[in-house]
Amino acid sequence: MQCFYNLEVSSLGTFGLVWRVENTKMKIIKIFLPTDKNILVSKLRDEYSLAKRSDSLEEITLQVKRFISGENIKFNLGLLDLDICTDFEKKVLMAEYNIPRGYVSTYSRIAKKIGNPKGARAVGNALANNPFPLIIPCHRAIRSDRTLGGFQGGLEMKKKLLENEGIVLSNDRVSIDKMYY
């Protein structure tokens, strides 16, 4: 299976999209959040082929950029190759995807929602390995004590994304009560 990549510049830095084509349809298999551009280019170049632009790629790229800049975007999950995830990861990602803009949830609440009430740590691990950050907005998951927890793009990016959605932070804690689940 041949996979392709492209790099895109956003207000938070350069991010990478990786996809494959299945039955003439693009399926995203990974989104790399902004990091050092040279490291990102090296990582992508070693594993994937640089691709030409396409209408599908242009559309999703524009949506990701608009999301990063604070617009309310609900992404089409049909573009994602969710088959690369385990059943448990899919449950976690779908629960996370359904958290509305401007709300957060905790790892333990998500675990209860998907029927695994003692699985907060497993939920955190699934979100840490989320292949589709931003499209599956894992920045909306926080710890039960309202601290931020982790994020693939770093805590500064998580703060920025939450603030773009109107979430108020005080001393790196979510200070409003817009809890989901």
What are the start and end residues of each CATH 1.10.10.10 domain in the chain? 85-174
Which residues are CB-contacts of 54 (< 8 A; sequence separation ≥ 6)? Answer: 26
Torsion of CA 24, 29, 7, 167, to 10 degrees: 120
Rounded to an integer, what distance in angstroms lies between the CA atom of residue 154 and that of residue 151? 5
What are the start and end residues of each CATH 3.30.160 domain in the chain? 3-79
Q: Domain 85-174: which topology?
A: Arc Repressor Mutant, subunit A (1.10.10)
- Which pLDDT score is estimated for 53? 67
pLDDT by residue (tens digit) across 102-140?
Answer: 999 999 999 999 999 999 999 999 999 999 999 999 999
With a cut of 90, say whether residue 96 has pLDDT above it: yes
What does the pLDDT average to over 35-50?
Answer: 82
Task: Calculate the alpha carbon distances from 50 to 5, 20, 57, 122 in Å.
Answer: 5, 12, 13, 34
The CATH number of the structural domain formed by 3-79 is 3.30.160
Least confident of 6-10, 11-15, 38-42, 90-94: 38-42
Q: Which of 142, 136, 133 is nearest to 167 (CA)?
A: 142
Catalytic residue numbers, as ranges:
138
